[in-house]
């Protein structure tokens, strides 16, 4: 099926980088039934081919779908190209420490996407995701709305999950965001957090919890450090991010206009510009439609500035 823009096949997705994150994302996308064609690309061609073979054996158990390893030209008409290529964090390593290695990898990948005259949405997942989304914007020349970083979609899911567990309530009824950097300077936006419209602290009291300050610090720290904890225990994280990738693709493909905390270029919101970070944004068929300026209190705003400054410092060391 083609859309009005006949260069885009809405049933096709491409995944660049087929390690833990790329293969888990491909697996989640295959099971979602959203696409009928998926191309896997990796510098390690055997790896891409092996993953394509393995995942394609689920076709008779799921639904028809063409899954194969390929080249950049195969991704030219994909509706969404997902980049998960790059080194992952080693135990104890921060996301920002990956920057030079992975910016170098993006400098080899993005020009190959440019050569394809790609008209779809580029979804960046590799870390540090905010810096790499900025890199993709600078190197690709694609309109900014079509370049989305997975941002704090996973961190926000972790926050909702922990709050749901803490309060004994369905985590889908928890409305709360992690904003800013996907990393050590991220911020839990408590001042706008609520459970089905009830301010978070009032809901906590309904459930018999009164020690708000202590609980907020404990939960936000646990969310921030979750990747370190998982990497310490199993060397990598991939299922959570794979499901986040699937969720973002769903919002795009179904033109859901869902509000997701993806990362994108800031243009003066909260006084921040020329840096990519996560804010709740409306996501649909054209990528990011607009950011949603949630209310942040003074303390959250100060931390958001600090997060932006930390990312700007890293950007200032890069050459494009």
Q: Which stretch binds ligand 6V0 (CB under 6 A): 38-46, 70-78, 162-170, 191-199?
A: 38-46
φ, ψ at 288 (rounded to 5°): -90, 115
Enclosing H/E stretch for 12 = strand 9-16
Residue with Cβ nearer ligand 6V0 (10 or 275): 275
Residue ranges with strand state E in 53-136? 66-69, 78-83, 121-124
Q: Which stretch binds ligand 6V0 (CB under 6 A): 125-133, 172-180, 210-218, 291-299?
A: 125-133
DSSP string, 143-208: -GGGEEE-TTHHHHHHHHHHHHHHHTS-GGGEE--EEB-SSTT-EE-GGG-EETTEEHHHHHHHTT
Q: Is 284 annotated as a binding residue?
A: no
> Would you count residue 20 as binding ligand 6V0 (CB under 6 A)?
yes
Residue with Cβ nearer ligand 6V0 (10 or 96): 96
Nearest Cα to 120, choosing from 34, 26, 3?
A: 3
Q: Is 26 annotated as a binding residue?
A: no
Q: Give catalytic status of residue 166 as yes or no.
A: no
Smallest separation, CB 130 to ligand 6V0 (Å): 9
Smallest separation, CB 227 to ligand 6V0 (Å): 7
Distance CA 309, CA 292 (A): 21
Lookup result for tokens 């195969």: 74
> Which of 29, 110, 136, 154 is close enough to bind ligand 6V0 by CB under 6 A?
154
Coil, strand or helix: which one is 69?
Answer: strand
Coil, strand or helix: which one is 21?
Answer: helix
Distance CA 181, CA 138 (A): 18
> Would you count residue 204 as binding ligand 6V0 (CB under 6 A)?
no
Residue with Cβ nearer ligand 6V0 (203 or 240): 240
Distance CA 213, CA 124 (A): 34
Q: Which stretch binds ligand 6V0 (CB under 6 A): 120-128, 137-145, 170-178, 197-205?
A: 120-128
Ranges within 95-114 binding ligand 6V0 (CB under 6 A): 98, 102, 105, 108-109
> Would you count residue 127 as binding ligand 6V0 (CB under 6 A)?
yes
From the annotation, which residues make up the binding site for NAD(+)? 17-22, 42, 47, 72, 86-87, 102, 108, 125-127, 150
From the annotation, which residues make up the binding site for substrate? 89, 95, 127-130, 155-158, 237
The catalytic residue positions are 182
């Amino acid at each position: 099926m083609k859309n009005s823009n006949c260069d885009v096949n809405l049933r096709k997705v491409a995944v660049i980088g087929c390690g833990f994150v790329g293969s888990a994302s491909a697996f989640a996308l295959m099971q979602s039934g959203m696409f009928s064609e998926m191309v896997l690309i990796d510098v390690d061609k055997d790896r891409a081919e092996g993953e394509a073979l393995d995942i394609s054996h689920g076709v008779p158990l799921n639904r028809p779908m063409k899954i194969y390893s390929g080249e950049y030209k195969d991704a030219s008409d994909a509706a969404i190209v997902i980049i998960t290529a790059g080194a992952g964090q080693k135990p104890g390593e921060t996301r920002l420490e990956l920057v030079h290695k992975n910016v170098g990898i993006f400098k080899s990948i993005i020009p190959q996407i440019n050569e394809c005259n790609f008209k779809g949405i580029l979804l960046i997942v590799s870390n540090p995701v905010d810096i790499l989304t900025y890199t993709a914007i600078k190197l690709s020349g694609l309109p900014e709305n079509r370049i989305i970083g997975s941002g704090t979609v996973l961190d926000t899911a972790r926050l909702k999950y922990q709050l749901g567990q803490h309060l004994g309530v369905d985590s889908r009824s928890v409305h709360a965001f992690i904003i800013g950097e996907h990393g050590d300077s991220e911020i839990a936006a408590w001042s706008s957090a609520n459970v089905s419209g009830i301010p978070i602290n009032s809901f906590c009291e309904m459930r018999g919890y009164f020690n708000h300050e202590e609980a907020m610090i404990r939960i936000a720290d646990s969310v921030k450090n979750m990747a370190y904890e998982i990497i310490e225990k199993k060397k990598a994280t991939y299922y959570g991010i794979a499901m986040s990738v699937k969720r973002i693709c769903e919002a795009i493909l179904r033109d859901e206009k869902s509000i997701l905390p993806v990362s994108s270029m800031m243009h003066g919101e909260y006084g921040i510009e020329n840096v990519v970070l996560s804010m709740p944004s409306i996501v649909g068929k054209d990528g990011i439609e607009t950011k949603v300026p949630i209310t942040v209190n003074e303390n959250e705003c100060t931390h958001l500035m600090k997060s932006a400054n930390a990312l700007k410092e890293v950007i200032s060391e890069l050459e494009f």
